[in-house]
Amino acid sequence: MELKLRIYQDLSTLSHAAAETVCAELAQAVQARGTASIALSGGSTPAALYQLLATAPYAAQIPWAYVHFFWGDERCVPPNTEGSSFKQAQELLLSHVPVPPENIHRVRGELPPTEAAAEYAQVLAHNAARGLPWPCLDVVLLGLGEDGHTASLFPGPIIEAEKTQPTLAVTANYQNRPANRVTLTPRVFNDARQVLFLVAGVGKAEAVRAVLKGYANPIQWPASRIRPTLGTVTWMLDEAAASLINR
Ligand code: 6PG
């Protein structure tokens, strides 16, 4: 695993840098393999990035027809309701760019969680290289909760299935967000080529320090379980989220 740390003055600067990185990675993937895949994140942090990707100059840099969209996690709510990460991405990005509908692989949050998780595992397998159980994602966007969660991997005893399965149905209460979720597991994240953590705000500083300083207990700080085997993880932080790193 290669780890990179990038610190930006504020969320706007961070989002522009993330847009440049996403554009470059997706274009390079299509150039090299004729296709590209990205897993989106929910939450508030990536919203500005999604809007940037839908506008000049970034939108013109991405070969949208060859890009496949997945989600690192999804809340188990219908796709047209508040709280749906798909709805957020659809409104801010996907409805503004020419991505073929068949390239958008959302988690069907309208299903019961375990059914949605099982179906998504099949979606991943269907979109993987021959014989592989899930895609080697070119880009994974991840956020970080103040409690150290990422995607929908929350603090607490590690579910054994996460060590072998690509998806899990979980229940977790975080802020006022939907509790029932489907998440990809570290098995999928750690096969990715580029994992980008986008983290902003002083409320995340303690979690950033715990995870980046390397002493993190993987049960208490789930983001520390994201360690791509051959890929690169880049932590893109604003100054506030990075404020405790050297303490
Ligand atoms: C979600 C995300 C979740 C998010 C963090 C940070 O579904 O909400 O997958 O993991 O990235 O909770 O959220 P903020 O960006 O809103 O701080």
Per-position pLDDT tens, the chain of length 247:
889 999 999 999 999 999 999 999 999 999 999 999 999 999 999 999 999 999 999 999 999 999 999 999 999 999 999 999 999 999 999 999 999 999 999 999 999 999 999 999 999 999 999 999 999 999 999 999 999 999 999 999 999 999 999 999 999 999 999 999 999 999 999 999 999 999 999 999 999 999 998 767 899 999 999 999 999 999 999 999 999 998 7
Which residue's alpha carbon is nearest to atom 14 within ligand 1? 43
What pLDDT was estimated at residue 1?
A: 84
CA distances from 21 to 156, 173, 181, 225 (A): 32, 32, 28, 23
pLDDT attached to residue 216: 75
Q: Which residue ranges have their beta carbon within 6 Å of ligand 1? A: 41-45, 73, 85, 143-145, 149-151, 174, 177
Determine the pLDDT at residue 213: 84
- Token pair 């219908």 is found at 78
Beta strands in the chain (DSSP E): 2-8, 36-40, 67-71, 73-75, 139-142, 167-171, 180-184, 194-199, 232-238
pLDDT reported for residue 246: 81
SS3 state at 2: strand
Return the ligand 1 atom nearest residue 198 CA: 15
